[in-house]
């Protein structure tokens, strides 16, 4: 019976969260792919593992019987991975998490993949709030994050580069007609931000100099920002590299000439493996800010 480790991992996380959407997000898998994976596992074992209705998800009796067995498999696979890293710490997989992508991050990863040819790579798009959680939980081995100013208190990372800002807005918006914008031009606008209001407040303070502006803390990723801005729900302030990285037929990017800078950092875990240390050293040697 060919049951895959990925199927069992999806099953274990769903059994813990009892929520398909949250489990898919935790494992950085699209909801449709995640549902297909669980369905394939149920087909393999020949019985339903979850009871699903619009309000709740619960383990069936068969699911409850499978759970401890699946957890044993997961623990064994984790132990095998640790053994491989202990035997030869310079091989294996480096899992890199991204808050957003940019041309320079792509260049960094391309150079690292070439220089560290014996390493396998995984890239995970984690959105605005997922990077630090994934790093703390051991789901990734390093994260690229952006910040307005310094990293949050208690976080450590290497400052790589900084860039100016653009206003992201619907192409039908009044600001889209300007060759460039100033902070004063944002008066009366609704600013679409990260769903974490504390983080959004720090960003607004650093980038816009504390200007009083209404925040809509409703976006978990930059892809969501683009859709919200294109619909005319509000505007956003992003790094200038978004112009080259993201395209949307209904969105305009307008230079924001008097805002603060947005900085990209590389954050490793508290106890990186030798392979991760090699990756971090390579990036810092080539790209660390002056």
Q: Is pLDDT above 90 for 85? A: no
> Domain containing 186: what range?
165-260
As a whole number of angstroms, the distance between CA 164 and CA 182 comes to: 12
- Please indicate, yes or no, whether the overall pTM of this predicted structure exceeds 0.75: no
Tell me, yes or no, whether 97 and 156 share the same domain: yes
pLDDT category at 82 given cuts 50, 70, 90 is: low
List the alpha helices (DSSP H) in the chain. Answer: 5-17, 20-26, 31-45, 61-87, 103-115, 127-136, 197-208, 222-230, 242-245, 274-287
* Domain co-membership, 157 together with 267: yes
| Whether 270 and 153 share a structural domain | yes
**Of 129 and 165, the one with more pLDDT:** 165
Same domain, 74 and 106: no
Same domain, 17 and 79: yes
Tell me what pLDDT residue 86 has.
61
Is the predicted pLDDT of residue 280 greater than 80, yes or no?
yes
Give me the CATH number covering residue 108.
3.40.190.10
pLDDT at 36: 86
Give Rg (Cα) of the chain.
22
**Quick one: 57 and 124 in the same domain?**
no
User: Which tens digits make up the pLDDT trace of 179-193?
Assistant: 999 999 999 999 999
How many domains does the chain contain in total?
3
Q: What does the pLDDT read at residue 173? A: 97
pLDDT of 81 > 70? The answer is no
Range in 22-26, 115-119, 215-219 with the lowest mean pLDDT: 22-26
Shared domain check, 191 and 54? no
| CATH code of 14's domain | 1.10.10.10
Q: For strand 190-194 and strand 214-219, is the pairing parallel, antiparallel, or unpaired?
A: parallel
Q: Are residues 170 and 157 in the same domain?
A: no
- Given a cut of 90, whether residue 154 has pLDDT beyond it is no
The tokens for 214 are 């209404």
């Amino acid at each position: 019976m060919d049951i895959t480790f990925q199927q069992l991992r999806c099953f274990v996380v769903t059994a813990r969260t009892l929520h398909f959407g949250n489990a898919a997000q935790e494992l950085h898998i699209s909801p449709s792919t995640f549902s297909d994976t669980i369905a394939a596992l149920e087909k393999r074992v020949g019985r339903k593992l979850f009871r699903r209705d619009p309000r709740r998800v619960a383990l069936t009796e068969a699911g409850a019987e499978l759970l401890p067995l699946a957890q044993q498999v997961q623990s064994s696979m984790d132990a095998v991975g640790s053994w491989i890293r202990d035997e030869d710490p310079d091989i294996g997989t480096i899992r890199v998490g991204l808050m957003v992508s940019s041309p320079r991050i792509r260049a960094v990863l391309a150079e690292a993949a070439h220089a560290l040819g014996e390493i396998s790579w995984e890239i995970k798009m984690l959105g605005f709030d997922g990077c630090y959680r994934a790093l703390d939980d051991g789901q990734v081995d390093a994260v690229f994050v952006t910040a307005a100013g310094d990293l949050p208190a208690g976080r450590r990372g290497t400052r790589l580069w900084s860039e100016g800002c653009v206003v992201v807005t619907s192409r039908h918006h009044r600001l889209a007609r300007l060759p460039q914008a100033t902070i004063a031009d944002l008066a009366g606008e609704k600013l679409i931000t990260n769903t974490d209001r504390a983080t959004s407040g720090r960003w607004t303070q650093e980038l816009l100099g504390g200007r009083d502006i209404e925040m809509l803390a409703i976006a978990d990723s930059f892809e969501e920002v683009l859709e919200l801005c294109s619909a005319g729900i509000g505007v956003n302030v992003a790094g200038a590299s978004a112009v080259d990285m993201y395209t949307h037929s209904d969105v305009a990017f307008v230079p924001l000439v008097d805002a603060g800078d947005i900085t990209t950092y590389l954050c490793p875990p508290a106890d990186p493996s030798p392979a991760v240390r090699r990756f971090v050293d390579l990036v810092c040697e080539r790209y660390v800010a002056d």
